[in-house]
């Protein structure tokens, strides 16, 4: 299995508001940068979208170390919350609806294909790849605001 590193971040101007995501995939010192945005979204949805776009970019099952500064994403996966929400019909333990079930469904499907280790990184703390993902996410948010539409791009294509 190929060993891949994925770095992700999401940004939102207002919550909800225009948002963007940034994702870096790295394999054998070769990197690919993805970004995009949505004119009306939330920060958590953009954090999740960054993860989804990174995993969807892979063409075969891989062994992945995925870095995120989102406790929401990391905890929902590593603590089993998302699996529990799904088992309960997208209802949390407190009987309230689980938010973003559409995106959690996609993430859980993608995680079934790959072997993924999630690693939390502190945001805005000088982590080079996280800072770059943040730049891409902010760019995505700004472009989504001006376009008034959702979009996805690969840097350099």
124 falls in which pLDDT band (50, 70, 90)?
A: confident
Is 75 a residue of the active site?
no
pLDDT value at residue 16? 94
Predicted confidence (pLDDT) at residue 157 exceeds the cutoff of 80: no
102 is in an annotated binding site: no
Query: Can you tell me the mean pLDDT for 49-61?
Result: 98
Residue 7 phi/psi, 5-degree rounding, is -115, 135
135 is in an annotated binding site: no
128 falls in which pLDDT band (50, 70, 90)?
A: very high
pLDDT value at residue 15? 86
Query: Given 33, 38, 69, 129, which residue is catalytic?
Result: 69
CB 44 within 8 A of CB 10: yes
Alpha-carbon torsion 63, 67, 68, 73, what sign? positive
Is 80 a residue of the active site?
no
9 is in an annotated binding site: yes
Range with the poorest average pLDDT among 73-77, 123-127, 135-139, 145-149? 123-127
Domains of the chain, CATH where assigned: 2-154 (3.30.420.10)
DSSP character string of the chain: -EEEEEEEEEEESSSSEEEEEEEEEEETTEEEEEEEEEEEE-HHHHHHHHHHHHHHT-SS-EEEEEEES-HHHHHHHHTSHHHHHHHTTSB-TTSSBPTTHHHHHHHHHHHTTSEEEEEE--TTSS-HHHHHHHHHHHHHHHHHHHHTS-EEEETT-
Would you state the structure tokens that stand for residue 102, as one six-digit string?
Answer: 């559409």
Rounded-to-integer distance, Cα 22 and Cα 130, Å: 9
Is 102 a residue of the active site?
no
Query: Given 14, 63, 80, 124, which residue is catalytic?
Result: 124
Is 10 a residue of the active site?
yes
Query: Given 33, 38, 47, 129, which residue is catalytic?
Result: 47
Is 124 a residue of the active site?
yes
38 is in an annotated binding site: no
């Amino acid at each position: 299995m190929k060993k891949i590193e994925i770095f992700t971040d999401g940004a939102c101007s207002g919550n909800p508001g225009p948002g963007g995501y940034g994702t870096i995939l790295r394999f054998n010192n070769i990197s690919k940068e993805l970004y995009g945005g949505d004119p009306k979204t939330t920060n958590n949805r953009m954090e999740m979208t960054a993860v989804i776009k990174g995993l969807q970019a892979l063409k075969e099952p891989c062994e992945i170390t995925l870095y995120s500064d989102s406790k929401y994403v990391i905890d929902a996966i590593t603590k089993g919350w998302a699996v529990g929400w799904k088992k309960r019909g997208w209802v949390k333990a407190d009987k309230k609806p689980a938010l973003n079930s559409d995106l959690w469904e996609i993430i859980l499907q993608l995680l079934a294909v790959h072997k993924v280790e999630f690693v939390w990184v502190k945001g805005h703390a000088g982590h080079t790849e996280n800072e770059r993902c943040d730049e891409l996410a902010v760019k995505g948010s700004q472009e989504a605001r001006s376009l008034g539409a959702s979009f996805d791009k690969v840097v350099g294509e």
